[in-house]
Amino acid sequence: MSIAVNLLKYKKEAEEHSASLVAVSKFHSSSEIMEAYDAGQRIFGENIVQELTEKANTLPKDIQWHIIGHLQTNKVKYIAPFVSMIESVDSLKLLIEINKQALKNKRIIPCLLQVYIADEDTKFGLGFDEVIELLRSEEYASLKNIIIVGLMGMATNTTVKKQIKDEYNELKVLFHGIKHSFFNNNSEFAEISMGMSSDYEIALEAGSTMVRIGSLIFGNRSIKTN
Ligand SMILES: *Cc1c(COP(=O)(O)O)cnc(C)c1O
């Protein structure tokens, strides 16, 4: 199936659950991104800073770029002028740097805290207690050029649906607890970014507001097409 057909299918499915779709375009070419763009997609996710800046330079300016992968502090300056959301904030140090670079660019950058929910050693993210510690810190309270708009999580890479469902439910419970305790039920704290190609249906059932889908839209990333 074509990229446009795939895109419309997953976009519709997300919208039926009141969620938005992040089309994960990492390792895919600008012309493939344009196929999705021409089909109406505006939110794209990338995880490598250099790849993202090259694409952002040439592609339409109304694309909303999300960083979804681990971000090194020294790379923040390259994306701060234009990135529309950083979904993978996994330390206070990174958040402080994002704030600094956002200030330089006279921007307020929306961020998600990436929470560690998987039963694996390989995934980045903050533990539940670390999320709370960060939000309680004086450093965080002083940051005026970032806004935390929700949480992001990746489930364990497993075929056991029950485990994925339990992990996503935990993230949702944490989200509501944090919204209540730290954001005074503020409507800006609204996003639970969870679900990718292999598990987006479970995530939508569990209350995801943002699914990040790559291979189901663009095909396999191991085949380089540009
Ligand atoms: C690559 C990636 C995705 C998309 O993965 P697919 O399996 O291709 O849908 C989603 N989230 C993150 C954080 C990723 O790095």
- Site to probe by mutation for ligand 1, drawn from 114, 124, 196 as the one with most ligand atoms within 8 Å of Cβ, is 196
Does residue 114 contact residue 126 with C-beta atoms inside 8 Å?
yes
The Å distance, Cα 211 to ligand 1 centre, comes to 9
Task: Check pLDDT > 80 for residue 83.
Answer: yes
Report the pLDDT value the prediction gives residue 103, as an integer from 0 to 100.
98
Measured distance CA(60)–CA(129) in Å, rounded: 40
H or E element in which residue 81 lies: none
Residue 222 has pLDDT above 70, yes or no: no
Q: Is the backbone of residue 211 left (phi > 0), alpha (psi -120 to 50) or beta?
A: beta
Is the distance from the beta carbon of residue 196 to the nearest atom of ligand 1 less than 6 Å? yes
Mean pLDDT of 191-212: 98
Task: Indicate whether residue 215 lines ligand 1 (CB < 6 A).
Answer: yes
Q: What is the pLDDT of residue 224?
A: 47
- CB 130: neighbour CB atoms within 10 A? 16
**Residue 224: which residues within 8 A CB-CB, separation 6 or more?**
27
pLDDT band for 185, please (50, 70, 90 cuts). confident
Confidence bin at 186 (pLDDT 50/70/90):
confident
The C-alpha atoms of residue 80 and residue 103 are separated, in whole angstroms, by 9
Give the closest residue (by CA) to ligand 1 atom 13. 68
What local confidence, expressed as pLDDT, does residue 225 receive?
A: 41
CB distance 195 to ligand 1 below 6 Å:
no
- Residues 104-122 have pLDDT tens digits of 999 999 999 999 999 887 6
The torsion angles phi and psi of 192, rounded to 5 degrees, stand at -120, 100
State the chain's mean pLDDT as an integer: 95
Q: How far is the CA of 121 from the centre of ligand 1 (A)?
A: 17
Say how far apart CA 125 and CA 114 lie, in whole Å. Answer: 5
Half-sphere exposure of 183 (CA within 13 A, CB side): 19
pTM above 0.85, yes or no: yes
d(CA 209, CA 218): 21
State the average pLDDT over residues 120-135.
Answer: 91
pLDDT reading at 1 higher than 90 = no
For the Cβ of 81 lying below 6 angstroms from any atom of ligand 1, the answer is no
Give every CB contact of residue 31 below 8 A, 6+ residues apart in sequence. 226
Ligand 1 atom closest to residue 47's alpha carbon, by position in its atom list:
15
Of all protein residues, the one whose alpha carbon is nearest to atom 7 of ligand 1 is: 197
Q: Which atom of ligand 1 is nearest to the CA of 22?
A: 10
Closest CA to 208 of 44, 43, 15: 15
pLDDT band at 223 (very low <50, low <70, confident <90, very high): very low
Contact 25, 36 (CB under 8 A): yes
> Average pLDDT of 192-210?
98
pLDDT (tens digit, 9 = 90+) per residue, 88-108? 999 999 999 999 999 999 999
21 ligand 1 Cβ < 6 A: no
Q: Mean pLDDT over residues 29-39, rounded? A: 97
Say if residue 9's pLDDT is above 80.
yes
